[in-house]
């Protein structure tokens, strides 16, 4: 357990000269400072700084072991911008607690980029691709979106431009803002489809999405978006289920008998920061779900290969559950018992046998039973007629708050 006091300081591009008086006092009081190598020379020139200065470890996760092993009583971590905006501060608070951590923020790169672009930051999407799959930006792309992106390195703009072009945003305007607020500040502009600039490692990316762009946000994706083997909750039934599941940011979600993972993927797409688990006993189905999640911009979807209901035992209690396959009395009971109060459970059936289980669940726990029938107009000879899909029985229940 860490005995030291931890101060996390946000710096600007110019290093210590950008700091406030409280931040400078913290540096002067520190016995150990951890900072990026580009700040080491400037720190050594600070008259009042006597602490040992180390570089951030690689991989980043080793920082916790370094702090735990330190004998110094005051450790200062030098980050850039606001430590609590996709920064190191969040992890430190989660690990060591607020009583051990003092945070002194600086202007964030998001703020500096927004001001440079003349964008109101409250009208912008802010996202990081630093240490995260670049596809995770996809849920933030939509018509006329203004997206501010914290980049990882000099290769980020090329990778982002390629992703934008692949997903129908090739006409998006990209602006790379390097070393914002520093002496080496530089700006690079271009269209995603023809991006060719070489840029420095340290930068932000501003993306202006075009007026005409494909659908990536919201729910009700076309069935063709998903790779599947036939085990797919169709668009119309999926949209109905999601409306009743009521996704919200930070929710815990189970997709039981996940198949292609379509419901979990769309849940994550509208419920940012949620934790979603796709549970299925078939590894081939889970492999498809994994590919679908990556392609749709939610690579954080967790995939659980397990038999039911045993595979649910160690999962965190959910705020919402969708059961699309593998239904049995024990699965239904386990799901309802583990569901958080006020949470929503939705189950679908297309066979008479599974429908009987939903009828029993409705009788035991209440809720609503709905029959969803969908018909599409199709050619019939020289005319047109209605061609039906298999009807879906939907059971929805909200667990009472006691």
* 325 neighbors 257 (Cβ within 8 angstroms): yes
What is the pLDDT, as a whole number, of residue 393? 98
Whether residue 11 is predicted with pLDDT greater than 90 in this model: the reply is yes
Whether residue 214 is predicted with pLDDT greater than 90 in this model: the reply is no
Whether residue 1 is predicted with pLDDT greater than 60 in this model: the reply is no
- Cα–Cα dist 34/108, whole Å: 19
**Tokens of residue 301, six digits:** 């979807």
Residue range 5-107 in CATH 3.90.440.10: no
- Cα–Cα dist 369/185, whole Å: 61
- Cα–Cα dist 298/225, whole Å: 14
How high does pLDDT run on average in the chain?
Answer: 94
- Cα–Cα dist 366/368, whole Å: 7
pLDDT, tens digit, for every residue of 167-213?
999 999 999 999 999 889 999 999 999 999 999 999 999 999 999 88
pLDDT, tens digit, for every residue of 27-68?
999 999 999 998 999 999 898 999 999 999 998 889 999 999
Whether residue 216 is predicted with pLDDT greater than 90 in this model: the reply is no
* 105 neighbors 38 (Cβ within 8 angstroms): no
What is the pLDDT, as a whole number, of residue 231? 81
Before 309, cis peptide (omega within 30)? Answer: yes
Before 59, cis peptide (omega within 30)? Answer: yes
Average pLDDT over residues 332-356: 97
What is the pLDDT, as a whole number, of residue 198? 95
DSSP string, 14-56: TBGGG--HHHHHHHHH-SEEE--GGGHHHHHT-TT--SEEEPP
Looking at the chain, the whole-number percentage of residues with pLDDT higher than 70 is 98
Average pLDDT over residues 303-320: 95
- Cα–Cα dist 298/289, whole Å: 11
As annotated, the residues of the chain forming the CATH 3.30.950.10 domain(s) are 110-208
* 254 neighbors 317 (Cβ within 8 angstroms): no
pLDDT, tens digit, for every residue of 220-247?
888 988 999 888 899 999 999 999 999 9
What is the pLDDT, as a whole number, of residue 339? 98
What is the pLDDT, as a whole number, of residue 379? 95
SS3 137: helix
Task: Describe the crossing of helices 262-270 and 283-295 by its angle, rounded to 10 degrees.
Answer: 30
- Cα–Cα dist 155/200, whole Å: 9
* C-alpha neighbours within 13 Å on the C-beta side of residue 6: 29
pLDDT, tens digit, for every residue of 358-401?
999 999 999 999 999 999 999 999 999 999 999 999 999 999 99
> Higher confidence at residue 4 or residue 260?
260
What is the pLDDT, as a whole number, of residue 3? 64
As annotated, the residues of the chain forming the CATH 3.40.50.150 domain(s) are 223-398
Average pLDDT over residues 112-139: 95
**Tokens of residue 117, six digits:** 């672009």
The CATH number of 223-398, from 3.20.20.70, 1.10.1660.10, 3.30.1130.10, 3.40.50.150, is 3.40.50.150
* 121 neighbors 110 (Cβ within 8 angstroms): yes
- Cα–Cα dist 400/222, whole Å: 34
Residue range 110-208 in CATH 3.30.300.30: no
Average pLDDT over residues 288-308: 94
- Out of 131-135, 189-193, 213-217, 357-361, pick the least confident: 213-217
**Tokens of residue 221, six digits:** 């994706």
What is the pLDDT, as a whole number, of residue 217? 59
What is the pLDDT, as a whole number, of residue 218? 67
């Amino acid at each position: 357990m860490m005995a030291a006091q931890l101060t996390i300081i946000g710096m600007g591009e110019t290093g210590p000269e950008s700091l406030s008086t409280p931040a400078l006092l913290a540096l002067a009081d520190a016995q150990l400072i951890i900072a990026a190598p580009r700040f080491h020379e400037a720190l050594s020139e600070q008259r009042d700084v006597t602490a040992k200065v180390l570089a951030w470890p690689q991989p980043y996760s080793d920082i916790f072991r370094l702090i735990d092993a330190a004998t110094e009583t005051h450790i200062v971590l030098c980050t850039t911008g606001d430590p609590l905006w996709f920064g190191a501060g969040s992890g430190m608070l989660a690990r060591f607690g607020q009583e051990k951590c003092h945070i002194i923020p600086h202007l964030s790169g998001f703020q500096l980029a927004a001001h440079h672009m003349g964008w109101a930051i409250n009208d912008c999407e802010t996202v990081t691709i630093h240490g995260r799959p670049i596809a995770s930006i996809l849920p933030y792309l939509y018509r006329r979106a203004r997206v501010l992106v914290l980049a990882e390195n000099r290769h980020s703009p090329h990778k982002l431009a390629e992703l934008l072009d692949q997903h129908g945003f090739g006409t998006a305007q990209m602006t790379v803002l390097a070393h914002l607020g520093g002496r080496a500040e530089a700006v690079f502009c271009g269209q995603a489809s023809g991006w060719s600039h070489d840029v420095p490692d340290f930068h932000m990316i501003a993306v202006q999405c075009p007026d005409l762009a494909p659908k990536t946000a919201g729910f009700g994706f076309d069935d063709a978006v998903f790779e599947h083997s036939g085990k797919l909750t169709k668009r119309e039934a999926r949209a109905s289920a999601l409306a009743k599941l009521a996704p919200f940011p930070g929710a815990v979600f189970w997709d039981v008998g996940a198949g292609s993972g379509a419901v979990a993927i769309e849940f994550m797409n509208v419920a940012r920061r949620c934790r979603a688990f796709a549970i299925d006993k078939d590894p081939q189905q889970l492999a498809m779900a994994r590919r679908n999640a990556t392609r749709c911009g939610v690579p954080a979807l967790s995939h659980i290969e397990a038999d039911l209901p045993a595979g649910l035992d160690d999962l965190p209690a959910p705020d919402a559950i969708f059961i699309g396959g593998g239904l049995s009395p024990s699965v239904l009971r386990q799901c309802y018992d583990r569901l958080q109060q006020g949470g929503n459970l939705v189950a679908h059936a297309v066979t008479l046998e599974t429908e009987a289980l939903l009828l029993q669940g409705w009788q035991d726990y209440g809720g609503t039973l709905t029959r969803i029938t969908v018909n599409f107009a199709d050619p019939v000879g020289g005319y047109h007629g209605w061609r039906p899909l298999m009807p879906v029985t939907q059971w929805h229940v909200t667990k009472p708050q006691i």
